[in-house]
């Protein structure tokens, strides 16, 4: 009786000269092995196809997770180009006069000019919203304790912003150390010989960068600071980008899109459904608990972005002033920090955040009507700073009048008490929150070499190093 394999062999004698005979038991085992191998192959191909399709299908969704990035999306990413077109930090020199870690060789090699180049697509600015004190001849809360930095390449960027907790040189020093420690570690890794290949590796670098910022704060013996760091990288096999963010405290990250408006990336770092104490930042780097940082609200966040979107980071001096409860555009029950008019609409606490985002979107859309095609990073920064300065004008003017009046040596104690009561009424009845306000922004997309950068207000060409 002819074996089935003999018949198959004779039918394919041109292809196989001597077929191998196997038992039925071996035949079944071989078929099962082939079936398992094919199934594994199909699953791998399917998972790759799903990943590829998920990259191609853009989503404006924001994903955040407290304490871990492992549940956030895993996408393959391009390495950042070494061709840098902007490295800018501020205010008042930013990182140019910040201390460096003596154990970090890359920090020791950083030159002052490394942070002097900005561009309309990569920009940042900061301002003090506090009143001037005529007696001290400076603004209350000086110096500005916020520090920002941005390093932008052809296909991505590093953005960082820190808000020193409290006032004074120690607070500013903490912010400088946090930004410098974090950014210099990221620079060494992202532009090194083994750059990250996917979003999870980017998040791992972001988390480790916090340790470098913390170490530099302790070395400098400064105080506490919030921190928000974002890395913008291009995805493999498409023209889309992802924004990977880590933040501690109340410094926040956003994206402005022509199609979708403004969306906050860092929503997971706080409870948006309930009222919060504006005086508490939620977490901070620095010696918060002994020599340990307060990472209670350490949050990893992720979103996708498209060409010409604007990614921006802000301190609470900007973010809080869009809150309808602070801007006095609405009433919230039992809100402790303002006394709005009864004629204003009553809203729930959970509505404050979406209304804040809506106000940001309307402001940027309105500015685009007057400056068509100019909604670059620089334009976004300028519009937001102008908004918070204008909102707090009356508040600031009233406090400056108070300082002038209270410095009169002829005042009686009763008159001084009346002035102090008037000052409290000013705080509760006028819109806005006085603070240090800072913002740093990037226009997403592939940078073209013909575009100029700006150094000390002068347009110039920047070439790859």
pLDDT tens, residue by residue, 307-350: 999 999 999 999 999 999 999 999 888 787 788 888 899 999 89
Q: Which residues pair with 116 in a beta bridge?
A: 88
Residue 31 pLDDT level (bands cut at 50, 70, 90): low
Higher pLDDT, 333 or 75: 75
* Contacts by residues 32-41 (CB-CB < 8 Å, ≥ 24 positions apart): none
287/222 Cα distance (integer angstroms): 8
17/84 Cα distance (integer angstroms): 63
Helices (H) then strands (E): counts for the chain: 11, 21
pTM of the complete model:
0.83
Does the pLDDT value for residue 171 go beyond 90? Answer: yes
Does the pLDDT value for residue 458 go beyond 70? Answer: no
Does the pLDDT value for residue 197 go beyond 90? Answer: yes
pLDDT digits (tens, 9 = 90+) for 352-400: 999 999 999 999 998 876 565 566 899 999 999 999 999 999 999 988 8
413 membership: H or E segment, kind and range: helix 413-429
């Amino acid at each position: 009786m002819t074996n089935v394999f003999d018949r198959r062999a004779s039918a394919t004698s041109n292809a196989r000269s001597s077929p191998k005979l196997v038992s039925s038991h071996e035949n079944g085992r071989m078929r099962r092995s082939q079936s398992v191998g094919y199934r594994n192959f199909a699953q791998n191909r399917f998972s790759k196809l799903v990943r590829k399709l998920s990259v191609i299908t853009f989503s404006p969704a924001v994903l955040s997770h407290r304490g871990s990035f492992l549940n956030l999306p895993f996408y393959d990413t391009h390495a950042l180009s070494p061709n840098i077109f902007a490295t800018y930090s501020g205010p008042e020199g930013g990182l140019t006069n910040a201390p460096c870690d003596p154990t970090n060789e890359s920090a020791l090699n950083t030159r002052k000019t490394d942070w002097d180049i900005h561009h309309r697509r990569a920009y940042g600015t900061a301002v003090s919203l506090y009143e001037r004190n005529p007696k001290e001849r400076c603004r209350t809360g000086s110096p500005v304790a916020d520090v920002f930095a941005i390093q932008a390449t052809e296909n991505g960027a590093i953005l960082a912003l820190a808000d020193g907790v409290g006032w004074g040189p120690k607070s500013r020093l903490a912010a400088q150390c946090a930004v410098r420690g974090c950014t210099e570690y990221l620079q060494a890794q992202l532009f090194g010989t083994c750059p990250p290949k996917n979003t999870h590796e980017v998040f791992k670098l972001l988390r480790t960068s916090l340790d470098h910022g913390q170490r530099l704060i302790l070395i400098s013996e400064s105080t506490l600071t919030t921190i928000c760091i974002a890395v913008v990288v291009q995805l493999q096999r498409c023209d889309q980008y992802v924004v990977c963010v880590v933040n501690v405290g109340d410094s926040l990250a956003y994206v402005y899109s022509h199609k979708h408006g403004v969306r906050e990336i860092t929503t997971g770092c706080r409870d948006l459904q309930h009222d919060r104490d504006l005086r508490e930042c939620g977490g901070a780097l620095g010696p918060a608990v002994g020599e340990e940082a307060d990472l209670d609200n350490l949050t990893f966040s992720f979103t996708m972005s498209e060409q010409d979107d604007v990614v921006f980071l802000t301190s609470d001096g900007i973010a809080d002033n869009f809150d309808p409860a602070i801007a006095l555009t609405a009433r919230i029950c039992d809100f402790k920090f303002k006394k709005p008019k009864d004629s204003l609409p009553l809203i729930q606490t959970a509505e404050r955040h979406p209304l804040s985002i809506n106000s940001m979107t309307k402001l940027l859309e309105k500015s685009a009507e007057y400056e068509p095609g100019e909604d670059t990073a620089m334009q976004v920064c300028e519009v937001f700073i102008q908004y918070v300065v204008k909102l707090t004008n009356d508040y600031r003017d009233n406090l400056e009048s108070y300082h002038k009046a209270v410095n009169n040596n002829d005042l009686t104690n009763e008159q001084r008490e009346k002035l102090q009561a008037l000052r409290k009424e000013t705080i509760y009845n006028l819109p806005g929150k006085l603070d240090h306000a800072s913002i740093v922004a990037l226009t997403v997309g592939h940078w073209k070499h013909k575009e100029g950068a700006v150094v000390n207000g002068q347009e110039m060409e920047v070439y790859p190093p």
